[in-house]
Amino acid sequence: MIYPKKLSSKKGDLIFKIFLISSFVLGILLFIINKLTTPDIPWATLTNAGIIYIWITVFYSIKKNTNIAGHVLIQAIAISLLTIFIDYKLGFEKWSINIAIPIIIIIANITMLILTIVSYKKYIKYAIYQLIIVLFSMIPVILIGENILENKVLSIVASSISISNLILTLILSAKDVKEAVIRKFHI
Amino acid sequence: MKKKKENKLYWRRLDNSAKIFPIAGGKKYSTVFRLSAVLKEKIHPKILENAVNMALEQYPSFKVRMKAGFFWYYLEYNPKKSIVEKEKDYPCKYIEPGKNNNYLFKITYFENKINIDIFHSLTDGNSGNMFFREIIYNYLELLHKDELKEERTARKIVENDTEDSYMKNYDKKAKGNNSAKKAYRLKGKKIGLGGISVIHEIIDLKQLQEESKKYEATITQYMVAVLIYSIYKENYLKYNYKGNKPIKVCIPVNLKKYFPSKTMSNFFSYITLEAEMKRDNLDTFDKIIEFVKTDFKKRLQEEEIIKTMSANVKLGNNFMIKIVPLIIKKILVRLSYIEIRKYTTITYSNIGRIGIIGKYKDYIDYFLMLIAPEPVEKIKCSSCTFENKMVFTFTSILKDNSIEKRFYKFLTEKGILVKIESNGVLDDISEEIK
């Protein structure tokens, strides 16, 4: 005999699918309850946005291949989108773009800075994510340019931290950044 | 320290063939092939693990993981150790990087058997075979230190590199020769739940050689003819096919036979035989083998092979394709890949003789080669030879195994000795044949 008697098929996939379908059903259920009880307050949309955010996090977290800088980037983008959505649904007071996103950018940049300092030898792994975070951090600058923001101070601070962070990492690991860009963008 | 830094910086582009596999591949299209060695004694996992790590030192091109770039995937140095596990899943399944320390090959064992499943982006059957032999040599040397002492000192690693030999050898002016006609697709119910049936037909090589000589055919030609005949009888006629699509057999060709190359990356092309069963009235084995011999002669000409290879290289080299972001490439390729596969009925890959040197042979019973079946190409065939045993393997997702049975019956009726081994998914075949 050259094969084991019982060859397994993937059961993990099935469990994953059950959870996915369950959250889909839960989403619809919440929506119906919302419509039947308090139709004037769209709380079900917000909870559903929360469910989507959780799934983005789960999908990304189970990819063991992804490094920590990748998680920082995906969380920064996902939470920003979530806050904009919540803000929009609650009447768009612009707290998301005035306060929440700049704070998210500051936290993401500080995390990247710590990563760079603690493990600059491994920086090549983080370089490309750092560059994307810097690009993402420029969104407040665009919003200032378009005169959309009311509270500009926090956004200026966030973008400045991001640029300083980039300059610092370039000083520390310019060669790695160049190498990472060549790898990631080869055609 | 310097070596560590060098390793960290090591990366390479995927070769021209390898580019497509991670884009098109996934759980349904694993593009994984397997090589197995059945030894004459039980496998010791710890020793095997050491043997694999030694082989990785000798062939560093395998010590890599795959990363996504903005336009293409690429390979970079993998600092982790490789994993050796007991076999528990179906063969040639998609290799999940996260569960395999990011390696693009997976080593498993069961009783006397060592398996290596290789993702095609890493290498082709020919170079995969070189790496696998190295693992087997190392394993036997570690296990039988005294007996293989002399062999060990005499043995040398074959010089190799990772150049993209396609780019070096393709003809920029060559025009493609692909047939536009869709192929007959095998009919029948699928096994389901991701199951793969494996049936190995272990054939007496001398008897097979004698039989193929009667038809003045090579062994590959003879096997292809038996395969087409079995498909014709057990699927084409059985399911009462009314259309005019030909039975198309795709046969990978090792390009190292045509061009000087030491690469450990992919360097293969393929020929596709088109058996027009109705138009050419190919209703007997004699007619089929005559057709196979003629079509082989026509398609195995160097010029034809270069044409096919060059057309593929030019496609991958097209600037407009190159600059499409990977995420969009993935969507487009996955949509078109199902359509592309409709141009082949079945694939048959013969990697030929597994050359094992000296006393090492004494510890090995035979080798196996397997390729992953796909939703469109439901059966795939492969073979390899060791000493006087040729093992012809069917990997299938069809519940109906009458093609495999007909193949066996045909050979045994010709007086060729055939022994069956299977993974038991379709238990009746082994029972019936035995």
- What is the Cα A147 distance to its own chain's centre? 25
pLDDT digits (tens, 9 = 90+) for B182-217: 999 999 999 877 889 999 999 999 999 999 999 999
* Residues of chain B neighbouring A8 (CB-CB closer than 8 A): 88-89
* Residues of chain B neighbouring A125 (CB-CB closer than 8 A): none
Domain assignment present for residue A17? The answer is: no
Do B292 and B267 belong together in one domain? yes
B101: left (phi over 0), alpha (psi -120 to 50) or beta: left
Q: Which helix (H) or strand (E) holds B273?
A: strand B268-275
Q: Give the total number of structural domains in chain A.
A: 1
Domain assignment present for residue A64? The answer is: yes
Do B349 and B258 belong together in one domain? yes
Higher pLDDT residue, B195 or B380? B380
Chain A nearest-CA residue for B86: A4
Tell whether A11 lies on the interface with B, counting CB pairs under 8 A.
Answer: no
Residue B61 is part of which domain span?
2-167
Domain assignment present for residue A6? The answer is: no
Tell whether A35 lies on the interface with B, counting CB pairs under 8 A.
Answer: no
For residues B396 and B83, give the distance between their C-alpha atoms in angstroms, rounded to a whole number. 27
Please check the confidence at residue B55 and state whether its pLDDT lies above 90.
Answer: yes
For B14, B34, B35, B266, the CA distances from B120, given in Å and listed in that order, are 11, 10, 12, 8
CB contact under 8 A, A64 and B98: yes
pLDDT digits (tens, 9 = 90+) for B120-158: 999 999 999 999 999 999 999 999 998 888 877 778 777
A8: pLDDT confidence band, cut at 50, 70 and 90?
A: low
Do B259 and B316 belong together in one domain? yes
Domain assignment present for residue B360? The answer is: yes
pLDDT digits (tens, 9 = 90+) for B258-296: 899 999 999 999 999 999 999 999 999 999 999 999 999
Do B190 and B116 belong together in one domain? no
For residues B374 and B24, give the distance between their C-alpha atoms in angstroms, rounded to a whole number. 12
CB contact under 8 A, A183 and B67: yes
Higher pLDDT residue, B4 or A187? A187
CB contact under 8 A, A7 and B90: yes
CB contact under 8 A, A2 and B112: yes
* Residues of chain B neighbouring A5 (CB-CB closer than 8 A): 424
Do B189 and B132 belong together in one domain? no
| Exposure string over B276-298, b if 16+ CB within 10 A, otherwise e | ebeeeebeebebbbbbbbebbee
pLDDT digits (tens, 9 = 90+) for B337-359: 777 778 899 999 999 999 898 89
Mutation target among B11, B28, B322 for the A interface, most CBs of A within 10 A: B11
For residues A112 and A162, give the distance between their C-alpha atoms in angstroms, rounded to a whole number. 10
CB contact under 8 A, A124 and B69: no
CA distance to partner chain A, nearest, from residue B159 (Å): 27
| Cα atoms in the 13 Å half-sphere on the side-chain side of B142 | 19
Backbone φ and ψ for B183, nearest 5 degrees, come out as -100, 160
CB contact under 8 A, B69 and A184: yes
Mutation target among A7, A74, A125, A185 for the B interface, most CBs of B within 10 A: A7
Task: Give the domain CATH number at B288.
Answer: 3.30.559.30
Do B186 and B133 belong together in one domain? no
Indicate yes or no: pTM above 0.90.
no
Tell whether A9 lies on the interface with B, counting CB pairs under 8 A.
Answer: yes
Mean of all residue pLDDT scores within chain B: 90
Tell whether A147 lies on the interface with B, counting CB pairs under 8 A.
Answer: no
Domain assignment present for residue A28? The answer is: no
CA distance to partner chain A, nearest, from residue B213 (Å): 32
Number of cross-chain residue pairs from A and B with Cβ atoms under 8 Å apart: 67
CB contact under 8 A, A7 and B9: no
Chain A nearest-CA residue for B97: A65
For residues B393 and B413, give the distance between their C-alpha atoms in angstroms, rounded to a whole number. 19
Please check the confidence at residue A10 and state whether its pLDDT lies above 70.
Answer: no
Domain assignment present for residue B175? The answer is: no
- Where is the domain boundary, B121, B142, B167? B167
Do B202 and B111 belong together in one domain? no
Higher pLDDT residue, A42 or B176? A42
CB of A47 closer than 8 Å to CB of A23? no
CB contact under 8 A, A2 and B76: no
Tell whether A187 lies on the interface with B, counting CB pairs under 8 A.
Answer: yes
For B318-389, where are the alpha helices, taking DSSP H only? 319-322, 326-341
Residue A88 is part of which domain span?
39-184
B78: pLDDT confidence band, cut at 50, 70 and 90?
A: very high
ipTM confidence:
0.83
pLDDT of residue A132: 87
* Residues of chain B neighbouring A62 (CB-CB closer than 8 A): 98
Mutation target among B7, B8, B422 for the A interface, most CBs of A within 10 A: B8
